Amino acid sequence: MRPLDLYEKDASKKVTIYFEGKALEAYEGEKLPVALLANGIYWITTSLQGRKRGAFTFGPLPVIVNGVKNIDGRKTLVKDGMRIERQNYGEFQEAVEIDGSKGVLREVVDVAIIGGGIAGIGATLELQEYLTVALIEERGWLGGLMSLKSTIQEGFDEEPKKVIEELTSQFNENVKVFKGTIALGVFDEGEYFLVPVVKKDQLIEIMAKRVVLATGAVENILLFENNEFPGVFRLDFALEVLNKWGVAPGKRVAVVGRKPERIIPELEKWNIEYIVVPNPKRVEGEEKVERLIDTNGNVYEVDAVIVSDYRLPDINPITQAGGKLKFKWGYYVPVLDEQNRIREGIYVAGSAAGIKPHYANFLEGRLVGAYILREFGYEATPAVYKEKLEEYEPEPMPMQRIEFKDMNLEDVQICGCDVNLKKVDDVVKKGITDLQIVKRLTHLAMGFCQGRFCLFNGALLVSQRTGIDMGKIDLPVARPPLKNVRMKVTAVRE
């Protein structure tokens, strides 16, 4: 067993990989950062400004694989003999092979559902009886955040993995599932919506009469010093390494953030030693987290930090598709009509519409499915789902205060692209409160994640420094592509 393995892996799949020249044990089919983590390696890449970075919080993960630079480490599965080296963000592959374009594939369906979490699954099940569906999921599996949990969730009576297996086994021939597939955006072509998606560098144009954005939520990024250092885990990544891969985030971990209960049962289940630190100030270490210091000056020797805080709807797919936002429950949510639409033809379901239990998201998926069936003239009973859903008011997020005084703001990363809190604060202190200008002057929200993880904190900072109500701050609209795509993929011409 490797140092952080939680159990013995399938020996028949054992392979050897080399990281910075050193031979390591890995297992065929494992994700690269997980294989490295199991071997105790956290630092994988280096930002433009020389900050060490790992795989499990925000920011991209370019690595050199078998001599080829700028490969996305998070999407790389290990293979026997694979050689991996660290690189700096700015390095790229100068000599490229021109393998010609793969061309475009096309799919015509009634409904395109973006997001294969529990809401997307619910919508699919509702629609499949009468309509054809394309279910698009970025991860390599369905079930979203719920599939990463191991404890029974409210409203379901089995383990999440089982629930998802059972639900997806009911999919019929009307359903095309696209796993490991990113959607570039939703484009209104008049007669239909065009949803271009990318699966393994193949461009697929999905033409659909209706679109469901079941695009989920993102983890709130906590602002403390070195909050992107190797060894800091976003909650969804911590759950993934534990429950999908059977690897511990560390031997002794600190849980920070306002919702420790989201991770504690999982840590206890795996017998991982943890401490809860509600007020983190700084993490430190050589190549990875070695200690956490809280605002009272207490020092905790740990080798990983899990941020277990609130979640926020991912607003990018909403605004790109033409939706408007409002500030409600302490975060930004799409403005929806009485049928959960941001505009005619485009529906929103699940945590993209508001943070609530998985079961409520499932109901909401079924609800929008029912609305669409109605629109197409089929029998459906949205009222039943609507009534049940009304029992679940979305969870409010309390307003957080950024502790400017006590922190070295240069060490606090607001965004994965070397934008620190000081840079943004300096601009806001000059009296600039329009996030469009802040964005231009600091590069906030202009990087790999398109503001997915940093716009909220940018708005929070403006609000806190100026007293402007969060609801009055105008958030920049997301532009395509919704997820980063290599230029060769879209370089097609017919």
Partner 1 sequence: MPHKELPDKSEIVIIGGGIVGVTLAHELAKRGEEVVVLEKRFIGSGSTFRCGTGIRQQFNDEANVQVMKRSVELWKKYSEEYGFSFEQTGYLFLLYDDEEVEEFKKNIAIQNRFGVPTRLITPEEAKEIVPLLDISEVVAASWNPTDGKADPFHSTTAFALHAEEMGAKLYEYTEVKEIIIENGEIKGVKTNRGVVNTGIIVNATNAWAKLINAMAKVPIHIPIEPYKHQAIITQPIKGGTVKPMVISFKYGHAYLTQTNHGGIVGGVGYEVGPTYDLNPSYQFMKEVSYYLTKIIPALRELLILRTWAGYYAKTPDSNPAIGRINEIDEYYIAAGFSGHGFMMAPAVAEMLSDLITKGKSKLPIEWYDPYRFERGELRNKALQMG
What is the contact surface with partner 1 in residues (CB under 8 A)? 48, 60, 70, 88-96, 98, 184-185, 187, 194, 196, 322, 417, 431, 434, 436-437, 440-441, 443, 446-448, 450, 479-481, 484-493
Q: Which is nearer to partner 1, 401 or 493 (CB)?
A: 493
Q: How far is the CB of 441 from partner 1 (least distance, A)?
A: 8
Q: Which is nearer to partner 1, 164 or 321 (CB)?
A: 321
Residues 231, 42 contacting (CB under 8 angstroms) = yes
Q: How far is the CB of 187 from partner 1 (least distance, A)?
A: 5
Q: How far is the CB of 60 from partner 1 (least distance, A)?
A: 7
Which residue bears the tokens 């994700």? 31
In a 3-state reduction of DSSP, which class is residue 135? strand
Q: Which is nearer to partner 1, 155 or 480 (CB)?
A: 480
Q: How far is the CB of 271 from partner 1 (least distance, A)?
A: 39
DSSP state of 136: E
Q: Which residues contact 466 (CB under 8 A, 6 or more apart)?
A: 428, 433
Cis amide leading into 396 (omega within 30): no
Environment class of residue 259 by beta-carbon count within 10 Å: exposed (0-12), middle (13-18) or buried (19+)? Answer: middle
Q: How far is the CB of 69 from partner 1 (least distance, A)?
A: 8
Q: How far is the CB of 314 from partner 1 (least distance, A)?
A: 16
Quickly list DSSP for 389-443: HTT-PPPP-PPPPP-TTTS-GGG-EEETTTEEHHHHHHHHHTT---HHHHHHHH-
Give dist(CA 238, CA 56) in Å, integer.
Answer: 8
Return the bridge partners of 328, or none: 331
Q: Which is nearer to partner 1, 275 or 446 (CB)?
A: 446
Q: Which is nearer to partner 1, 47 or 243 (CB)?
A: 47
In a 3-state reduction of DSSP, which class is residue 206? strand
Single-letter code of the amino acid located at 347: Y
Q: How far is the CB of 484 from partner 1 (least distance, A)?
A: 4
Single-letter code of the amino acid located at 251: K
Q: Which is nearer to partner 1, 405 or 493 (CB)?
A: 493
Q: Which is nearer to partner 1, 2 or 443 (CB)?
A: 443
HSE (side-chain half, CA atoms, 13 Å) at 392: 21
Q: How far is the CB of 488 from partner 1 (least distance, A)?
A: 4
Residues 3, 40 contacting (CB under 8 angstroms) = yes
Helix (H) or strand (E) holding 32: helix 32-38
Q: Which is nearer to partner 1, 320 or 463 (CB)?
A: 320
